[in-house]
Amino acid sequence: MKWRVVRRRSVMSDVLPLDDSTLISTRDLSTLPAIESLRQRLQQMAALESVFAIEYGESDYSFHPKWGRSQQMGAVKNGSGDELFAHFTAAGCCIIGFAHESAMSPYRTNPPELWPGLLSSVPADFKSSLDEPAFDIQSTTFVVWRLSSDDAWHTDDLEYSDDSYDDGSNDLLSRLLMSPVEFAEWLEENYEVDVGADIVTHVFKNRPLSTAQLSDLNPDASPAILKQAVTETGYPLQ
């Protein structure tokens, strides 16, 4: 899968998949990793981007290892107002997404209304996710969940819009499936830096980052600042 940079970081870049064969969406969640693998991947991506995002204040990928008691949260934003939140709790994981160009957006009506049936099957176990103010559930276009005891991801059986863009889940969920080469290219395009796929592979294997590796990634920042940025994501350091 190749990626195309629509806008530079200076104006909040947006990266979109070029390969239409990327099938992941709420219509087909078979390629979405299991809960723990997804949690790790969000943390890994956030840790890598944090090394370059220091001067910008906010990353497109973020991970909060202590969101709440026994809770973690990973987020993906595309710089154009679309966002995805993955809330990890003892119950499992609930993913909440918003794509502003979706015909299923609550803002298709005045006053805004969630798409019919959008939340009708979400288990009560995820009440804390749906009640979390930071996720702005009233702006949701899709919800995906998986209980710790489940062997697959779920979403409501909806009648989708006639628009092929549907609920925007393909664009946002596909950002979680980048290979080391693709994520290295994404970092390079967003931050105009050189990133080797080998270091991304190292992190995607969840191996601790050394001080030398951090300095190789961003030689312009002090090791202490780089360590602090990665530490905030909870990713392991040597």
Domain boundaries, the chain: 3-231
Q: For residue 10, is pLDDT > 90? A: no
Q: What pLDDT score does 56 carry?
A: 78
Query: What's the mean pLDDT in 79-104?
Result: 95
Query: What's the mean pLDDT in 61-65?
Result: 97
The predicted-structure confidence for 126-154, as pLDDT tens digits, reads as follows 999 999 999 999 999 999 999 999 999 99
**Which pairs from 220-226 meet CB under 8 Å and 24+ separation?**
221/51, 221/54, 225/54, 226/51, 226/54
Peptide bond before residue 111 is cis, with ω within 30 degrees of 0: yes
pLDDT band at 91 (very low <50, low <70, confident <90, very high): very high
Q: For residue 162, is pLDDT > 80? A: yes
Of the chain, the end-to-end C-alpha distance in Å amounts to 32
Least confident of 2-6, 96-100, 159-163: 2-6
- β-pair type (92-98, 83-89): antiparallel
Q: What is the DSSP letter of 79?
A: S
Q: What pLDDT score does 55 carry?
A: 81
Query: What's the mean pLDDT in 13-33?
Result: 70
Mean pLDDT for the chain? 90
For 229, the token pair is: 């940025």
pLDDT band at 68 (very low <50, low <70, confident <90, very high): confident
Q: For residue 14, is pLDDT > 50? A: no
Q: What pLDDT score does 30 carry?
A: 96
